[in-house]
Structure 1
Amino acid sequence: MLSTDTKGVFAIAPTPFLPDGSLDEASVDQMTEFYWKAGADGLTILGIMGEAQKLEPEESMQIVRQVIAKADGRPIVVGVSAPGFAAMKRLANEAMEAGAAAVMIAPPSALRTDDQIVGYYAQAIAQIGRDIPFVLQDHPQATGVQITPMVIRRIVDDNPSCVMLKHEDWPGLDKVSQLRDWEDSGDLRHISILCGNGALFLELEMQRGADGAMTGYAFPEMLRDVVDRSLAGDLDGAQDIFDTHLPLLRYEQQPVIGLSVRKYILKKRGAIAHDTLRTPGPKLTDRTRADVDRLLMRLAKFDPRAAI
């Protein structure tokens, strides 16, 4: 099970597809092994960048079962966000029965007030079961829902099964600091904080008290290096590694084409066989691929893992 003390690197895994848009089951196994070899502590599947909204329920569970079968006991977090509670409850319960460590829930975009957000999570947890550990996903750029530190505090206080915040607000560094300050003063119980946003602010988030990364940058080895050095107190070393990767990381984090870029790099690295997005989804132009290839060549001068 995931716990409030979880630290490290959880890679957000994409969903591999064949050129015709069907699930690439062979690449699911291949991709999972790739992340373990890269040093990931766990995986998060069926998230926003996993094209979960394009999957049939049976396809979602196929991915869950395959990844867990290759996990060798490592924790797997399953995104279960859905428009209705019936679908969320089904996926959450089936995933946990299959061996998942926790589920992740993002708020629906219709929520506007603080009370609506708090009430939504109370209803969601009542539906899926209060014994299932869950990750609160705070990603306003994707959901349009602004969750203040006080609302996070209320959700954590009201729901003992909340063990982790996936922090993806931007700007959000002060949010991490506020939550840790409340913990230090005894006004908030401790929870794990792993950070997303493509790792765009990872080195700074670690300095503010984050426990690690939960994101999908195509070089999880960099996430491993930055997290480990930060937790060991080597802030300059963490910053140096991060700075080396920043041009490529920035390119991968572009809206609309970001997942296409990430899948292109993962294909070049041998993690997946095809860089297909299930429709609707953008395709990279030749010029964009050339941009990525050039960034990889420049990165390889400083990090040989990019020599692909």
Structure 2
Amino acid sequence: MAERINRDTRGVYIIAATPFTDRGEIDHDSLLSLVDFYIGHGVTGLTILGMMGEANKMTGDERRAVIDTVLSRSGDLPVVVGVSDAGLANLTDLASYAMDKGAAGVMVAPSAGPAREDRIEGYFHAVCEALGPEVPVCFQDFPLATGLPVSPALIRRLSQERDQIVMLKHEDWPGLTKITQLRKQEEAAGVARLSILCGNGGLYLPQELQRGADGAMTGFAYPEALVQTVALHHAGRVDEAEDLFDRYIPILRHEQQPGFGLAVRKYVLMKRGAIASAATRAPGPKMSAVDAAETDRLMARLEARLKG
């Protein structure tokens, strides 16, 4: 049984893509291969059924099938399951299924609605009540996707009042000041530590680590870049961590194109042998021949840069 996430969790919890066939069906063989690929590159854990995992395009049965496939392969590697849903009953049902199967925790984003903090606060209390105190929760703070800014004060208050909210997936942008504020709060007596793993493709990972983040919870077709950057930073080799990370910036930036980056990520994963097809589920972005050639060039330049 994998260790559950807690307030001291750190490392790289890679956001796993969901492989599809060219006909739009979940490719479970490629999903197994992808888990092996991530494990082979040294990730600390996996996060499945996130926004970039295209969970919103899946049926409930498909989500359960993805959980089954991943957990059948992950062994002792912790797996966090995204369970955000428009309906609280659907959310708690999927979370219960995931935890019963051996998940390390669940990830929940604020529900759609007015951008009022009292509403978001009430929602997370309702979620925690429904899940029960034994289910560790990662609070997904991604205002660019949800349209719901959340203050450090609210995140801290929820984490203090609900022991099971042990982790923040930090994806605010710009958000470095938020990390600083959250860590500053922990200097006060009685304030519990909160694990902070960062998203946004890792674009700002070196700076986020320097501000006090514990690692990354994001997707990138070169997971080893995230793993090695975090490991070097935790070893106190801060400049080396940033120097290594800088080599990947051109292709990482290319993969972070809004509305299109997932197609790039899946194409690179396919070229690296992790999955059989670069298909996204409709409606989703598709690579043209020009896009593919452009990405091939970036991959070749990265390879040369790493050898140099």
What interval of TM-score do these two structures reach, taking the shorter chain for normalisation? over 0.9
Residue 242 of structure 1 is aligned with which of 242, 245, 248? 245
Whether the 8 Å CA contact 1:78–1:95 is kept in 2: the answer is yes
1: CA distance, partners of 2:289 / 2:158: 46
- Verify: 1:123 aligned to 2:121, yes or no: no
Helix, strand or coil at the partner of 2:106? strand
Per mean C-alpha deviation after superposition, the further-off stretch among 4-13 and 105-114 is: 105-114
Whether the 8 Å CA contact 2:137–2:164 is kept in 1: the answer is yes
- Verify: 1:230 aligned to 2:233, yes or no: yes
Whether the 8 Å CA contact 1:5–1:192 is kept in 2: the answer is yes
1: CA distance, partners of 2:213 / 2:198: 7
- 1:188: Cα distance to partner? 2.8
Helix, strand or coil at the partner of 1:185? coil
State the one-letter code of the partner of 1:24. Answer: D
- 1:128: Cα distance to partner? 1.9
2:262: which partner in 1?
259
Counting aligned pairs with the same residue, the percent is 47
- Verify: 1:46 aligned to 2:53, yes or no: no
Paired residues for 1:101-250 under 5 Å: 101-186=104-189, 188-250=191-253
2: CA distance, partners of 1:95 / 1:83: 18
**Cα shift readout 1:132-159 (whole Å, capped 9, x = no counterpart):** 0010000011111100101101111121
**Cα shift readout 1:90-128 (whole Å, capped 9, x = no counterpart):** 100000000000000001231411111111100111112
Gaps of 5+ in 2: none
**Cα shift readout 1:247-287 (whole Å, capped 9, x = no counterpart):** 11000000010100000000001111101111111111111
CA-based RMSD of the aligned residues comes to 1.2
Per mean C-alpha deviation after superposition, the further-off stretch among 124-133 and 164-173 is: 124-133
1: CA distance, partners of 2:189 / 2:33: 44
1:64: which partner in 2?
67
The TM-score with structure 2 as length reference comes to 0.97
Helix, strand or coil at the partner of 1:136? strand
- 1:187: Cα distance to partner? 5.8
State the one-letter code of the partner of 1:256. Answer: G
Gaps of 5+ in 1: none
2: CA distance, partners of 1:64 / 1:201: 30
Residue 294 of structure 2 is aligned with which of 256, 272, 291? 291
For this pair of structures, how many residues does the alignment match?
305
After the TM superposition, which segments of 4 or more aligned residues of structure 1 sit over 4 Å from their partners? none
